[in-house]
Every structure is written in C-alpha cells, then in structure tokens.
Amino acid sequence: MKRRNLVLIILLNLVLLNANYAQNKRTLRAYETFNAGEYFKAIDLFKDAYQKVTDKKEKLDIAFYIAECYRKTNKSREAALWYGKVIAKNYEKPIIYLYYADALKMNEEYEEAKNQYEKYKELVPGDARGSDGILSCNMALEWMEFPNGYVVEEMKFFNSKFSDYSPAYGRDDYRLVLFTSTRDETLGKMEHGGTGQGFADIFTSTMDRKGKWSTPVPLNENINTESEEGTPSVSSDFNTLYFTRCTYNKKKAEGCNIWVAKRDGDQWDKAKSIPFFEDSLVAAHPAISPDELTLYFVSDAKGSVDDGTGKPSKDIWRVTRSGPMAEWGNPENLGTTINTPGDELFPYVHHDGTLYFSSDGHIGMGGLDIFKATKQDNGQWKVENLKYPINSSSDDFGIVFEAEREAGFLSSTRKGKVDAIYAFMLPPLKFSITGVVIDEKTDLPIPQSTIKSISSDGITLESKAGEDGTFKFLLKPGTDYVFLASKDGYLQGKERETTKGLDKSTEFKTEIYLSSIKEPIRLENIFFELDKADLRPESMVSLDKLVETLNDNPNVTIELGAHTDSRASDEYNFDLSKRRAQSVVNYLISKGIKRDRLEAKGYGESKPKTVDAKDHESYPFLPVNTLLTESFINKLPDADQQELAHFLNRRTEFRVLRTDYGE
C-alpha cells in the first residue's frame, strides 16, 4: 500500500514538473517574442501565460508586459486598461505611472493623465518626462479650445481597413500620390509580428479631371518585393524615388535600409541600396531636400540620444553631398534640439527648406505629434508643434505639403483607427473690419461720413458710412491700416488696425469718434502742479493725442482755453489760467505745431462748465444743462460733491477758430 502511494506521489510530482516546465516554456516564448519586437504576437502568448501562472509576482510581471505590448502596438485603450490593473496591485516599477499617463493622454483623458504624471514626478523627480507630461496635457487642452484654423478630412479614397500612411506627391500638379499600405494587394505575404498585418508596399493613386482619385495600385517589382517597402520621398523634379526597404530572412528581421530608384518613363527602374551604417539595423524614412544635396533619415545608430534605459532612441540624421551625382558623405545626427530620448520619425523637407518631423519626445498632444523645425540665424533649430487639428491625441506623422499652398496630406491614427491618410488645408485667411462713426460729445452715430482706408501697401479706398454711421472694409493679410473718418462740421478722426502676424481669419470691430467744431472740446487728463502753470508728466498722453489731431487736420487753427474753479480771486484765477493755457501752447509748439495755428486764452473762473449728458452719467447728482456757478456748488449738500463740481470747472479745452489755414 505504501509503495502504491509512493508511486502516486512520484507520478503527481512528474505531472507538476511537466506542467511547470510547459508553463515556463510558454512564458519564456512570450518574452522571447516580445524581445524580438513581435509585440502583436506576444500579446496572445502573454495572455495565455497570464491565465495559467499562479505566482502573484510573476502574474503581475506578465500583466505589465501585456500592457507594454499594447503600448508598442498603439492600442492605447487596451494599454491603459492593463496598466491600470497593474497599478492597482502596487507594481514596484515607477515607470508604470509614466506609461499609464501616456496611454491616458492618447485617449484624451488629459485630467487623469495629469494625475498620473504627478505621481511619476513625485517618484522620479529627476526625470523631466513627468513635468513635460503635465505641460503637454495643459497645452493640448488649450490647443483644442483654440484650433489653428486648418481643416483636416479623412481621405477615404486612399484608405483601407489596413494601415495606409506616409504619402508623397509624384507630380507637380499634385494629382499623383504615392503612399505606404499593408492592404491585401502587397507582394509580401508574411505577417508582421509587431503589427499583426502584412508587409507594407508602396502604392499609387491618380486624380482624374473630375477630382476623383483612382483605386490605389502597387508600384512594380523594381520597387515592391516580398520584403517590406514604404515611406516614399520624391525629388523636386519627380524623377528620383527614395524609400525604405526592410528585409527578412526566415521571418527574422535583417534590418531596414534606404533605397533609391530613377524614373524610367511611367515606371521606376531597379532600386539600389544606399548603405550608411554597418552597425545599425535601422536606416529608414528618407526625406530628400529640394536641391537633392541633403538626405534626412531615421536611425538608432551609435550617436543617437539615449532613451533613458541605456539603449539608443530613433533619431533624425542627415547626410550631404556636393552635387546630384556625387557620393554621399558621412551621416550626422541633428542634435538634441531636434532629437530627444523619445523617438523622432518620418522627416519631410518642404519646398522652402523647412524640416518637418514627428516625435513623441517633444511636448505634444499624445503619441506622435508633427513638428516644424526652422534654422535660425545663429545656426540653431527652432522647433514648433503644429498643434490641433494637425495633431491629435493619437499618432500623427508622415506629412507632405504642396509647394505654394498650406495644403497636403498627413497620416494619423485618430478616431480610433489604424494608420490612415488625411487631407489638410488652411483656408485662405479672410480679414475685414466693421466700424461705426460716433459723435464724441453725444455718443450718437454720425450718418454719411466719409471713410478712407489707407493700407501700408499704398492702396487707398474710400467709402460712405450708412445712415446708422456704420462702414465695412475687406482687409489683406500682413498689412497695416489707417482708417480716416471725416464730416463737415467735425474734426477728422482715425483708428488703426493691422493684420500682420495673424494666422487666423478675423473680423475686426472699431469705433471712430469725431469731435464737433461747434463747441469747445475738453482735453481729458490735463494736470498742472498745484497753483502753478507747470504741466505734470501724466498730461503728455492727452496732449500728444492733440498733436496727432492737429496733424490729421492741418487746415484748422485753435484756441487753447484754460479754466479754474472759483476758490481764489478773479485776478489770480485769470492770470493762472492764462499761464496754463500758454504752457499747453508751448508744448504743442515743441512737438512741431506751427505757432500761428495756436492761440492761448485764460478764462479764469468766468466761464463755469455746463453739465452735459456724459457728466450727468458719471455724476447723477448734477442735472443736465446745469451751470456750475459758485452759488450752485455751495448749495450742494456734500463736500465731496462740491469738490467734484470744482474739479469739472478746472478744465483745459480747445475750440476751432478757422478751418482754412494754409489755403
């Protein structure tokens, strides 16, 4: 009996050992597949191992790698789900908070993403990715609230249920497009372990006269092979094609290289490899400059920025040559202004020489964002995010522009889709200004006044305001404007506006106030030293506006009249007001106004102010048309009210004497 039990125990142990061996083998295969970059295949292997493993720590590690597989295959929703599971079990690696935040950001869950970035920042304060993540969420929310004006629409003619991306123009009329696709018509029939899709090829589509795109077809076998081809870049004369080819041997990646082919009639001749590195498996995503003397590309070769784990990230490099037929020189990394510990991919060179690229290392909305890089006078790069809606919370990459228009195509995984091609366009900027001409004294519109629009490009237009005093002009981009309003019986008025530096269509609003020459015009905020005629500095703003008014109305002569309150002798007030009026005249002369256009007049307390509608609106205790005499002021019940009335009497005014000066 004991012998039988012993046999049973031995058999049971053998079963358990075999089960453990099988489980270990299954888990080992999942890790090997992951390390080989076949993340799509690794998902099912890890999930199978996750279901069968019993050790809690090992189970947690496997869950983390399931999340990693989803992250590396751009499945942000699944990645966030699995990272959340692992975090709930108090996973020991702080990096999980960063990856969780990144996934949430790609799902547009910006507020929760900020919380996770904060946790990562607390755990790893020396890593800028925590602070950068918080900033990127804040910027994304701002950019989405204030989009930059581009219109982005999906190109359904190009797209399939598979990945379609990295478009390039094949003709100067922009009616021929090349792009990368993994659709069924590709020559390579192997499945990519990293994406779960077939190997990519380069396809082309042509627009007919009616604006309809043809069904995409693959390029010939001089370009497409059973290996993987993609990311085309065409020279500015459309006669040379650069592209990426990644080769495989018995399902094992041998590496990616840049290839080039010349046009042969309507086809491309046999492609040739351009080897740049011997020690790197990656030289991809070519982008040729308009003069064909500089080739930008992506590599993780020695000299690339460390990704933070001791491994090189994917960086943008360039190589140059002295002429179109010369040999390429030695590759050069573009440096840390462009390249980050994240990945920089899919460069493109605009017709004007501007470099565009995608990155998940610069401040962005989530995943890959598209950036613009321009060379400054000091030789440094200036990098700018293209913002929303060019960028989204998903991956955005592979952009191409028309030469003379803010329009083209880009690739994106937005809307929860696989890689797809989108058209973008910046509608022509439209600017206009609507204004109204108003009586400065009454605040009522002035009908039928004459409006002139004078632009910095030398164009002058003239219009009449309507019966309601309104007018409207269309404006040009990048232009300064002056708007002059005139009407018999009024001084000419003006306002300025500019469209320089504006990148969004705008309808401006303005009001032009005209002052009637029938009554004296008060100069606001004219101040003198106590009991003196010396102008205080804060008076200069108002007086400079008067200088501008006199220059705008060169035909008028004016009287400068100064008034005092009644709290001194008549003789003293008359003398003080005369000296103050002369101080204003002297200031105007110092600013270039001719002396014979100006007359100083001191009125002392002899002309108390009459309360108008504006005065009453500001000081309701003063009835309209009331003359602010000394007796009226003394009857006011409140000392503050009396002081305000004296203040209104102390004023500097000007009135027009003639309107024919210089004639």
Check residue 614 and give its pLDDT: 87
Q: Which residues pair with 297 in a beta bridge?
A: 317
CATH class of domain segment(s) 151-425: mainly beta
Record: fold of 521-658: 60s Ribosomal Protein L30; Chain: A; (3.30.1330)
**Can you name the residues that pair with 257 across neighbouring β-strands?**
245
Closest CA to 522 of 493, 490, 563, 568: 563
SS3 state at 481: strand
The CA radius of gyration of the chain, in Å to the nearest whole number, is 38
- Give the three-class secondary structure for 350: coil
Instruction: Give bridge partners of residue 345 from the DSSP assignment.
Output: 358
| Number of Cβ within a 10 Å radius of residue 571 | 9
Q: Which of 231, 262, 265 is nearest to 245 (CA)?
A: 231
What whole-number distance in Å separates Cα of residue 490 and Cα of residue 470?
17
Residue 294: other Cβ atoms inside 10 A = 18
* The CATH number of the domain covering residues in 431-514: 2.60.40.1120
Residue 54 has a pLDDT of 86
Q: Does the domain formed by 2-145 have CATH 1.10.3720.10?
A: no
Provide DSSP, 149-163. S-EEEE-TTT--SS-
Q: What tokens does 355 get?
A: 């470099």
Helix ranges, 289-410 (H)? none
Give residue 591's identity as a one-letter amino acid code.
K
- Cα–Cα dist 221/270, whole Å: 8
Under 8 Å between Cβ of 402 and 425: no
Residue 633: phi and psi, rounded to 5, are: -60, -40
Residues of the chain with pLDDT under 50: 1-22
CA distance 650 to 657: 22
Q: Where are the domains of the chain?
A: 2-145, 151-425, 431-514, 521-658
Alpha helices, DSSP H, located in 493-629: 540-552, 570-590, 613-618
Helix axes 76-88, 56-72, angle to 10 degrees: 160
Distances from the Cα of 11 to the Cαs of 14, 16, 180, 328, in angstroms? Answer: 5, 9, 57, 68
CA distance 240 to 221: 16
Please report the pLDDT score of residue 12 as a whole number: 40
In this prediction, residue 259 carries a pLDDT of 97
